[in-house]
Amino acid sequence: MDDASRNYPGMIVPVGHVEPVPRRLRGLVAGRYVFDTTRAKYVWSWPGYPQYCIPLRDVAEGLLTDGGATMPLGIGGGRRQDLAVGDVTRPGAGWVWDDTAPEQIRGHAGFRWEALDAWFEEDEQVFVHPRNPYTRVDALRSGRPVRVEVDGAVVADAPSTVMVFETGLPTRYYLDRVHVDWTRMAATDTVTACPYKGTTSGYWSVRTDTAVHRDLAWAYDFPTRQLAPIAGLVAFYNEHVDLFVDGGRLPRPEPLRR
């Protein structure tokens, strides 16, 4: 990757890293807590964010049964576990890390995120995936003008912005809606979610004289309280538009791969 296109901090935690979770964790299925622990560990199976590893002694008794298969898990393996809570069954809901995993998490349980109805850190629900303790997300107001072009057409031209700096991602520029050319925007039904910012309230494709580019822009009307400055503002994917800040064109970041 060209150095000019990577002008943001990358992830610093290596794959395979394990460390304690200093927060109480609970997982809910059918109104019952499957686990309740203050002794969980993080493990990084990939660089972006960790998985939770739950000590088996903190998993409610009788809910997990061995599914009779070994699962490859990237940094080792585990035994597949089926989950049954009352009349609710979730085949393959989790696993127990085996002797091929890092020593600190052997015998701990892991769960597919979507296999549980809700996850909690302390008393606050966590969405999408565990938050990375090494990820920082800041939303800063800035008087730097921003212009967005697609196929040479100006689709937004704003005198100021809210810049969102998120570890491992390009800087995002959130713009007031009054500075967007809505004649070129077409709403789509796409919805995405982020554990740091919340759930999007809208996505838009961009129409130019030559093409329609799907899902280039989005907004969070009700972001998490930490990202309140971006509420109602619109951002565009730097990777797919021409972005000018202070009159200078920024290099396009390479699309992220996970």
Q: Could you read off the pLDDT of 57-98 as tens digits, one per residue?
A: 999 999 999 998 998 998 999 999 999 999 999 999 999 999
**Whose CA is closest to 136, among 21, 230, 224, 11?**
11
Bridge partners, residue 89, by sequence = 84
For residue 180, the 8-state DSSP code is B
pLDDT given for residue 12 in this prediction:
86
Residue 162 corresponds to which tokens in the numbers above?
């809210």
Domains 18-126 and 136-249 share a fold: yes
pLDDT of 222 over the 90 cut: yes
Contacts of 155 (CB under 8 A, 6+ apart): 148, 149, 180, 181, 184, 185, 206, 236, 241
Buried b (16+ CB within 10 A) or exposed e, 191-229: eeebbbbbebebbbbbbeeeeebeebbbbbeebbeebee
pLDDT of 1 over the 50 cut: no
pLDDT digits (tens, 9 = 90+) for 165-176: 999 899 999 999
H or E stretch covering 125: strand 124-126
Contacts of 70 (CB under 8 A, 6+ apart): 77, 78, 79, 80, 98
Mean pLDDT of 98-112: 95
pLDDT of 145 over the 70 cut: yes
Report the top-level CATH class of 136-249.
Answer: mainly beta
Percent of the chain at pLDDT > 90 equals 89
Instruction: Give dist(CA 117, CA 124) in Å, integer.
Output: 14
Residue 232 corresponds to which tokens in the numbers above?
């109602």
Environment class of 124 (CB within 10 Å of its CB; exposed 0-12, middle 13-18, buried 19+): exposed
Environment class of 175 (CB within 10 Å of its CB; exposed 0-12, middle 13-18, buried 19+): buried
**Whose CA is closest to 237, among 166, 158, 174?**
174
Instruction: Give the pTM.
Output: 0.88
List the CATH code of the domain at 18-126.
2.170.150.40
197, 137 in Cβ contact below 8 A?
yes
Parse the chain into domains and list their residue ranges: 18-126, 136-249
Coil, helix or strand for 102?
coil
Instruction: Give dist(CA 123, CA 76) in Å, integer.
Output: 31
Mean pLDDT of 243-250: 96
pLDDT given for residue 146 in this prediction:
98
* Mean per-residue pLDDT of the chain: 94
pLDDT digits (tens, 9 = 90+) for 108-141: 999 999 999 999 999 999 999 999 999 999 999 9
pLDDT of 151 over the 50 cut: yes
Banded model confidence at residue 5, pLDDT cuts 50, 70, 90: low
